[in-house]
Structure 1
């Protein structure tokens, strides 16, 4: 609840709008002890002041003014995203019920008739400033809670992604690196910031389905036989099933990435054998990022490929495994990719 502004040392600003200077003087005299007061003698000036910084916290607005009446001023204020939040109180000699109804219909919060009652003006101003502060406080709380929910959802996704990688002899650093690589490539492909954010946070879930693969298949040191390979391929569908159907754009993209990141441009991938642009862009991007990081990362069972050898493979597989338009864009991202590789280096060493 707002403290009295004169005591709080943070006075609210009231804009008084009236085409008669004497009326402005009356209202200013009532308000200036507790509030900062600005004045405008016409609607055009009132709009200019309302749109300038710092904005008024509340507007006392006359109705009957030449050129632009108060109703039109209010209409323009409420139609402008920068000023629609400013409370407007009409102060007018128009006393008909229809006039009041019109004022409220335009978005005014109150309607005071002339000649004004000083205690009434002060009470209404104080009340509507308090309501405005309360609304702002509630809005901030909602934004805070929404952000907390968003952050919690992202953290859960990250941890589930890391769980899948640990089960597969990978490390949590892999999902961090390939998520950054995916973001860089999405940016290079011209996607907007919101889409790139979604992909960055969805990418760690690409292999979550491996949680459902038996260890004797997932951790087998040698080559998989035909049946084992069939079992391994199920992790794409398992991932989609784990994430499930959800209205959240983030979870929708995570599911898309999980089920389609092993599809190949030429149709030889799995689980659906999709070709070309029938494969969602998110999955085409993650496929590149995932393979490149797997090739260039050291593991207990293999040494890291030199960067150029990995790049050569990407180029050879352009139009076969990978989207041919994305491969050169990925290569152009290598300076940024190297920075992430250095920041999130593996600590393991390959064995002979």
Structure 2
């Protein structure tokens, strides 16, 4: 068997064991998700599994996936995915062939990894099968196993295929002269990795997610995105986060100043409430987003930190330098202490002209 077969099996098994497709499973796992540990903390973990976890979040694999999708998304007709599904005609057979080619590109990297480790693909598969009995190991895999999922592949191809349309709309809005937010942006710039890592740990972010963030934010200018601002209605964000693909979220500006149910962010959470505020008093347009996590779908029981404290996530987006840069900050508000953490900050820069 080739590694592709093995990792497709790992992907299917993870989806079943972790219950990624149900809100009920998400609710049952929320109380332990913040306590996940990294592979260095696992007892009796086969060295090849630890090495694989590091590899699966590495820059090389992330860039391969992103480059491959970017190259093929616009020529395969994936912008019609939703229409094909709506009218029942189904996906073109060509998409299955492209998915196979995509997996083979990933497969070549897996074979190289096994060769570097001096182990066979069969050895790695069996070691991963054993290691997945450990819930922490299983939880660390989804960022990688999604790469061989046909559904995930098609979704990312669709997002990339429609990116130009969103970019053109954003540029038209920006050209109107009264829209400071819309346009194409690239980041991240001017950030401190120590502050980033300390913030993630203080926020009880699981090891697997911390590794993703480090992969996405390892150098300047690796994140590309589009903002589309509809005054009094919505602010849309569409950003390309590499190994996670295109991420979409919309802020409902009709609910400014109100806590309301929210589904958004880099790592989606079914049970979240958010409140947005907008402020132009300082001369620079600024949006603040506060979010609270809950255990239950009715959002009555708050998720606490590992130390048992109630917290809010606080993010700000401020236009500076005459609107050519966007300063972003992330911090934690400890409600019972009425204190804010130091957090961390980074910048996006507006993209002018063709890229």
TM-score (norm 1): 0.27
Which structure's residues are more often helix, by fraction?
1
Higher normalized contact order (CA 8 Å, seq sep 6+, divided by chain length) = 2
Larger radius of gyration: 1
